[in-house]
Chain A
Amino acid sequence: MGSESLQEAFVEFDGVQKSYDGETLVVKDLNLSIARGEFITMLGPSGSGKTTCLMMLAGFETATNGEIRLAGRPINNIPPHKRGIGMVFQNYALFPHMTVGENLSFPLEVRGMGREEREEKVNRALDMVQMRDFVNRRPAQLSGGQQQRIALARALVFEPDLVLMDEPLGALDKQLREHMQFEIKHLHERLGITVVYVTHDQAEALTMSDRVAVFNDGVIQQLASPQDLYERPENSFVAQFIGENNKLEGEVVDFEDDAVIVRLADGALTRANPVKCGKAGSRTLISIRPERVRLDGPENPNTTTAQVLELIYLGDHVRCRLNVHGNDEFIVKVPNSAGHRHLAVGETAKVSWAPQDARALDPL
């Protein structure tokens, strides 16, 4: 996070807490600075508090404690219609009794803009999403992807500096979703707006964002760039939640150089990268990405034998489920490239991984 958060923050959550029932906190002590022009994604399972944060920013929920600032100004007591924040809703929320043009013109009308100026801005916004020809259609006459574009255009038509998106692509099929991800990303780059994006789809978060805030249990687990998030997860939740992950449970035995020696469940010792494990004697969870495991690689301290349990052919690669150190959910991806050895179910193979790719994290 470092340098970006040190810049003048555009959106700032300062010790924000939220409770609906007065008994449990949905958002626990949220501190988050978003720079102007940044694309930040709040990622997390449902019920993790990410949508609540977005709703507090939009003004539909009030923070129970703490302060939210927009361009340095506290906005806790500003009603939603005076915040000037654009928003794309999960179900698009296009007004069903208005045409596309009327939908787009609505935010300009309530701002008291003249007819000609309105028309010009509506047309410009529609051009932006290539939907000019649909100005007289009703939302119900549009496909999901078209409705999505109109919702996007409506959130941008009054030229807000900040746009919130609440799982905007959740209802689209995979192909369209990927296409829209690029379109949103390009719009963001072209217009220089700040985007706060909420999703539970990690692939979406990784492809679009400058930074991703991983939410769980009302707390940001890690705030980092997509690459850092995948390569260097700081705790077991993030490692589990982002991408595929092999876990080996064990107990910290000793530290040697910059590695930690862990005794696994089956008694074997292995070397790992101490990221977030306790002192000797504490429990830890080692996380290894499937693509970092090698079959028949050069010998190293972590080389071990594994029994092949299952093979799933996926075209470009074969997913192998192995039994490694007593964990029979251990996945290895074998590329389907020329000259690569093919495994057979039941055989025993040698697997290895580098100690720095095995991250010793907190036990779940």
Chain B
Amino acid sequence: MSTQTPADPHVAVVATAGGVEDGPLVMADGTSLKQALRKSQSRARRRAFLLVLPLLAFVVLTFIVPIGQLLKRSVYSPNFHENMPALVAWFDASPPGTVPDESAYAALVADLRLLKKTKKAGLVGTRVNYELPGSRSLFTKGARKAEKLEPPYREALLKLDPRWGDPALWQVMRSAASPYTMNFYLAAVDLKRDSDGSIVRVEENRRVYLMLFGRTLALSLLITFLALVLAYPIAHLLATLPLRKSNLLMILVLLPFWTSLLVRTTSWMVLLQSQGVINDALVALGIIGDDGRIQMMYNKIGTVIAMTHILLPFMVLPLYSVMRTINPSYVRAARNLGATSWTAFRRIYFPQTVPGIGAGALLVFILAVGYYITPALVGGSDGTLISNLIAFHIQKSLNWSLAAALAALLLAGILVLYWLYDRLVGIDNLKLG
């Protein structure tokens, strides 16, 4: 009865909606339905945003900003630009290829004197040293002696050290004069600029990064494959055993997580070294002679074995979580319909575990590509990965820009693989838990 009275707000909405065909729905008070909906939801949305705000701020401050800074370092290196104003001005004024004249040497000496005063000779020397090894001392010595130099400065400097006339040095200084440079990326793929500015490969005995990228990729793929082969049966067992037994097994799978990574890696060293448990056992069993002990550490084998073991749980868990949701009646139905157990596995069970395989493989691969401690400890020179070199440049050589360039290339590589994965398998099919 009340629906007959026009005062009922529901009737108003229905009437308006029916009257204006295909037009936007309008509420009783004249606002559009979309507006009203947005208004009614905005409060809830604001509260939700406030709830995630602390985490968002934390992530931005501790993760996105530092990574952005580091990536900026890979192309931005201002030490030379900031501390050598006179020489930078000369480079700006003269086109590339200009032979440095007396005015250039005068600017250089003026800057060297400035360096003496500001005590920044080491910084500038280091920057040039990245691209022309051995030239750091040139700058520290030059700055020390600059006060006593008399014009003509070219002769004076060349007398101090003949390397000041090296065209390669001037080429490096010219490129360093600009605060932005792609040279670190070139260095990261074993390229450099020649003295005339063209891009060439570095000398054969100094090509190391491309080989390391390749080795990192190959070992990571191998480790991912081994982890998959080992984890698949375990995950299947976990998913099909009765709960009490599978819980016990799950604890065994997770046990490594409760031990320090360092402890796990060093225990592999105990097992694998040439005087270690495995070799001793083989010798004691007479399978190998005492002089034929197998070298399983400080090479690729050690890295692969230890990393496969350490990353195995990351493969088991996504596989397990997917397999647990696969109803056993699927395989039963396949068997009932006439499939042998192998056909039932291949056609029915395996395709349904692909999301788990994808998730586990992606997880293990990405972790393996960036792995550091294990290859550093058991890898020796043969089994080190690109991350070890990144660590070397951050801790030892202090060439953070090169480290940043290497890390950026690694990140780009992973993103490309991720994109490929998305195209081939589909990210929607990923199931992490």
Contact = CB atoms under 8 A, between A and B. Distances in A.
Contact of B330 (A80, A82, A95, A110): A95
Interface stretch (B71-79, B347-355, B366-374, B382-390): B347-355
B334 A106 contact: yes
Q: Is the interface of B mostly helix, strand, loop or mixed?
A: helix
Q: Lowest 3 CB-CB distances: which A-B pairs, in order?
A: A107-B337, A93-B333, A93-B329
Contact of B333 (A79, A82, A84, A87): A87
Given A95-B348, A106-B347, A81 B340 contact: yes
A91 B329 contact: yes
Contacts of A95: 330, 333-334, 348
A81 B338 contact: yes
B254 interface: no
B333 A110 contact: no
A218 interface: no
A58 interface: yes
Given A106-B337, A110-B339, A93 B352 contact: no
Interface in B314-335: 327, 329-330, 332-335
Q: Is the interface of A mostly helix, strand, loop or mixed?
A: loop
A316 B342 CA distance: 58
Given A91-B327, A110-B343, A81 B352 contact: no
A342 interface: no
A310 B335 CA distance: 54
B329 A96 contact: no
B295 interface: no
A90 B340 CA distance: 22
Interface string B290-328: 000000000000000000000000000000000000010
Contacts of B330: 93, 95-96
24 contacts: A58-B336, A60-B335, A79-B335, A80-B332, A81-B339, A81-B340, A81-B341, A85-B336, A86-B336, A89-B329, A89-B332, A93-B329, A93-B330, A95-B330, A95-B334, A96-B330, A96-B352, A97-B351, A106-B337, A106-B339, A106-B347, A154-B337, A158-B337, A158-B338
Given A95-B348, A97-B351, A90 B336 contact: no
A59 B334 CA distance: 12
Given A97-B351, A106-B347, A107-B338, 5 more contacts: A81-B340, A84-B338, A91-B327, A93-B332, A110-B339
A115 interface: no
A244 to B, nearest CB: 34
A82 B343 CA distance: 13
Interface residues of A, number: 25
Nearest to B331: A93
Contact of A87 (B327, B336, B339, B351): B336
A60 B337 contact: no
A111 interface: yes
A119 B327 CA distance: 28
Residue from B327, B337, B338 having most chain A Cβ neighbours under 10 A: B337
Nearest to A90: B329
A106 B348 CA distance: 10
Contacts of A93: 327, 329-330, 332-333
Contacts, number: 61
Residue from B339, B341, B344 having most chain A Cβ neighbours under 10 A: B339
Contacts of B351: 97
A87 B333 CA distance: 7
Nearest to B333: A93
Nearest to A151: B333
Nearest to B348: A95
A107 B335 CA distance: 9
A158 B340 CA distance: 16
Interface string A80-123: 11111111011101011100000000110011000000000000
Interface string A226-267: 000000000000000000000000000000000000000000
A91 B332 CA distance: 12
Nearest to B344: A81
Contacts of A86: 336
B311 to A, nearest CB: 28
Contacts of B352: 96-97
Nearest to A111: B338
A80 B333 contact: no
A33 B1 CA distance: 64
A83 B336 CA distance: 8
B36 to A, nearest CB: 34
Contacts of A87: 333, 336
Contacts of A90: 329
Nearest to A94: B333
A199 B296 CA distance: 61
Contacts of A110: 337-340, 343
A84 B338 CA distance: 7
Contacts of A82: 338
A81 B329 contact: no
A125 B348 CA distance: 21
Nearest to A97: B351
B349 to A, nearest CB: 10
Nearest to B339: A110
A297 B397 CA distance: 109
A110 B342 CA distance: 11
Interface string A50-72: 00000000111000000000000
Contacts of B348: 95
Nearest to A80: B335
B242 to A, nearest CB: 11
A281 B125 CA distance: 115
B119 to A, nearest CB: 69
B339 to A, nearest CB: 5
A90 B333 CA distance: 11
